[in-house]
Amino acid sequence: MGDRCARLALATLLAVGACSGASTTGPIVITFPISALGAEGQVLVRQLARFMAENPGIKVEQRVTPDAADQKHQLYVQWLNAGASDPDILQLDVIWTPEFAAAGWILPLDEFRPDTADFFPSTIAANRWQDSLYALPWFIDVGMLYWRTDLMTEPPATFEDLVREARRAKQQPGIRYGFVWQGARYEGLITTFLEYLGAYGGRILDGGRVVVSSDAGRRALTEMLDEIYGDGIVPSAVLTWHEEETRFAFQNGESAYMRNWPYPVPLMQDSSKSRVAGKFSVAPMPAGPGGSHTAAIGGAQLAINRRTEHPEAAWAVIDYLTRPEQMRERARVVGQFPTRPRLYDDPDLASGLIIPPATIRQIIDFAVPRPVTPVYTQLSEILQIHLHRALTRQTGPATALAQAQTEMQRLLNRAGLGTGEPVARR
Amino acid sequence: MLGADRRSGIEQQEARLAWRLILPAFVTILLVALFPLLWTLWESLHLHDLRMPWLGKPFIGGDNYIEAFRDPRFWSSLGHTGFFAVTSVGLELIIGLGLALALNRAFRGRGLVRAAVLIPWAIPTVVSALLWRFMFEGESGIVNTVLVSLGVLREPVVWFIQPVAAWVPVILADVWKTTPFVALLLLAGLQNIDASLYEAARIDGASAWRQFRHVTLPLLKPAILVALIFRTLDAFRVFDLIYALTGGGPGTSTEPIALYTFNALLQNLQFGYGSALSIIVFVVTFSLAILYIRFLGAELTGAKR
């Protein structure tokens, strides 16, 4: 008996030793760096636990990463540039997909046949690079106009309406500001500007040509300046504000309007912390003459590291997390909007969301991706600086846009992506 | 003959021993200082942009340097650095000297005051930067409230959106934080001055100002120079304070060269161009250091004589 036990133990040892290289016994381990905190993190843990129960052959390990986008980006670049096979799955900001795709750091997803037709076309477009899909939209953020239902009966359709209504609202006691948006020198300023630009029918990039220094661009930037220094409805302090500062102003009942992402909705609905609970709604950002309502796209995408040893297993995780059931759960618990349009007709979703799904859909229909280019972050930095110079009245709007266009075009040309001349046209 | 031979043999042996003894230190310096420097220099001669891997990493000679010299943002950031260094170090020296003179006097609780003076220096730069940001931020910040109620300002100023006003919190924060350090260095210098010199000056009927002018200042010169070296080089590499306080804004009007380099290197991942900027910063600070050391060296030998 003892002898048999010993022999069995020996055999086991040998077997384990023999296959320690390519372990076939244990489950495949997929690593997934994630910075989700609080309720968002809990939803993910639950969903991954369900996934692992259904797929005993795959084990998903979470990695903690920094919350700030810039730091996360730096970390990802260090990993991927070093050719690490780990992490297997990446959570990307919408503006990183072309960069990582062009660098050859993430796998094209076409071979897995994702059901792209079931997603919002604008979110799919933002994740394409050179005719291939590189990341699958997980949830979508859109820039929108928050308005006070106790101060007015309907949201403004145009900037003209907004200015008029904001001025009237400022007469009310306690209303210090007409309108607040993200105007500090960072990525948020670009999303705000993009929405003004779209309102006047302008664009930042047209293929390989920078076209921001246009009539529409100048009108959009002039409108922003006028709202601060002319009409006085936007406080000049917004030029140092990010998302949270604008939320505090609106949540404290100090502002009639706010431009922001969807995340403040559940926070501001909490009447123990918010003075505007039940007194606000959302609408598309106003349109101007010559353009339409515009919403900048944000949100998270999931992609696969090109060096992963288990592409199939990584895809299985992504496929699971982007299924309608998981999206519905995320919407219900943390208010993150699904990237599949048909879910918005689902009565189940309506009961979970504070804002009616039809309103959200309407805003998403105006969604416009930021320029889809591998050098986006550098383009954005140039534009941020020149916009901020104009908004702090160091240069005029026309000069600022012309200079931005020249520098951005030079960058594109140096990267071999430009088709325009480095000199500003018009 | 024989004795001389043996002596030179011993000298040689000693020289060899000396070399062997400094070898570890020498190799360490080579590894931690010279190697990264040469690596950066080599990197700066290439087009190496992690965001554009399809361009490869071709050797482009001095093109990165030419690009920097043609870039108005480079020159303005260099100008900002110089402005910051001169203004903040100048103020720190003047206030630090006053503080040191006060602390050098015998009074009750001197030890406690000396320790208390050091508190700003002990606070991490980023923390103090955020503290100052908080005080200057918004229209209802502490600074605006106080200045408006005192009648200094007619209406609140949004400090961080004005190219000139944004320097006020930056300079103040640096002066507040590093004056204690300067004061401490100067205090050490003051305590080295022989008290009998003042006695002699008093007997000769020298006024307090003449004593300060002709006894204190000349003898304090080495300490002042040490403080100047440390502070100027630090000020030239200023990064964390401005990064946390203004982020270089509005636009780029408070951006120092170190922040510009950080942006190129770590935000935009332009390794070649960023390395060229780093080398330029190195050359500038190194020249400053050499300049100071020549000054200081002359001072010290002069003092010996």
Q: Could you read off the pLDDT of B16-28 as tens digits, one per residue?
A: 999 999 999 999 9
What percent of chain A is predicted at pLDDT more than 90?
A: 73
pLDDT band at A297 (very low <50, low <70, confident <90, very high): very high
Separation CA A364–CA A284 (nearest Å): 9
Residues in chain B closer than 8 A to A102 (CB atoms): 53-54
pLDDT of residue B249: 84
Task: Find out whether B93 and B230 touch, Cβ atoms under 8 Å.
Answer: no
pTM of the model: 0.87
Q: What is the pLDDT of residues B145-175, one digit of tens each?
A: 999 999 999 988 999 999 999 999 999 999 9
Residues A364, A297 contacting (CB under 8 angstroms): no
Q: Are the C-beta atoms of B50 and A81 separated by less than 8 Å?
A: yes
Query: Which residue in chain A is spatially nearest to B248 when comparing CA positions?
Result: A185
A272 vs A283: CA distance, rounded Å: 25
Ramachandran sector of residue B34 (left: φ over 0; alpha: ψ -120 to 50; beta: rest): alpha
CA A73 to chain centre: 14
Residues in B 20-79 with any Cβ partner in A closer than 8 A: 49-55
**Yes or no, beta carbons of B268 and A377 under 8 Å apart:** yes
Q: How far is A387 from chain B (nearest CA, A)?
A: 8
CB of A198 closer than 8 Å to CB of A392: no
pLDDT the model gives residue B137: 87
Span A16-36, pLDDT tens digits: 444 444 445 678 999 998 876
Q: What is the pLDDT of residue A6?
A: 53
Delimit the domains of chain B by residue range: 1-35, 44-304
Across A397-415, average pLDDT: 95
B241 band by pLDDT with thresholds 50, 70 and 90: very high
Q: What b/e readout covers A234-251, taking b as 16+ CB neighbours within 10 angstroms?
A: bbbbbbbbebebbbebbb
Q: What's the pLDDT score for residue A228?
A: 97
Q: Which domains does chain A have, with CATH numbers?
A: 26-141+298-368 (3.40.190.10), 143-296+372-414 (3.40.190.10)
Nearest CA in chain B to A379: B268
Nearest-Cα residue of chain A relative to residue B245: A240
Q: Residue A180 forms beta bridges with which residues?
A: A258
Determine how many CB atoms are found less than 10 A away from the CB of residue B227.
26
The answer, for B161 touching chain A at a CB cutoff of 8 Å, is: yes
- pLDDT at res. B240: 94
> What average pLDDT score do residues A197-204 get?
97
If you average pLDDT over residues B296-301, what whole number do you get?
64
N- to C-terminal Cα separation, chain B: 38
Residue B250, preceding peptide bond in cis (omega within 30° of 0): yes
Q: Do A81 and B50 touch (CB under 8 A)?
A: yes
| Structure tokens given for A294 | 């515009």
Alpha carbons B139 and A110: distance in angstroms, whole number:
52
Question: Helix A376-391 to helix A397-414 angle, to the nearest 10 degrees?
Answer: 170
b (16+ CB within 10 A) / e for A396-422: ebeebbbbbbbbbbbbbbbbebbebeb
The closest of A199, A343, A349, A226 to A284, measured between CA atoms, is: A199
B160 touches chain A (CB under 8 A): yes
Asked if A382 and A182 count as a contact pair (C-beta separation under 8 A), the reply is no
Mean pLDDT of chain B: 90
Which residues, 6 or more positions from A41, have their beta carbon under 8 angstroms from its beta carbon?
A: A34
**Beta-carbon separation of A185 and B250 below 8 A:** yes
The secondary element (H helix, E strand) that includes residue B185 is: helix B167-191
Residue of A nearest to B55 (CA): A415
pLDDT at residue number A16: 43
Most confident of the ranges B112-116, B171-175, B283-287: B171-175
Spell out the CATH class of B44-304: mainly alpha
Among A29-43, A79-93, A122-136, A213-227, the range of highest mean pLDDT: A213-227
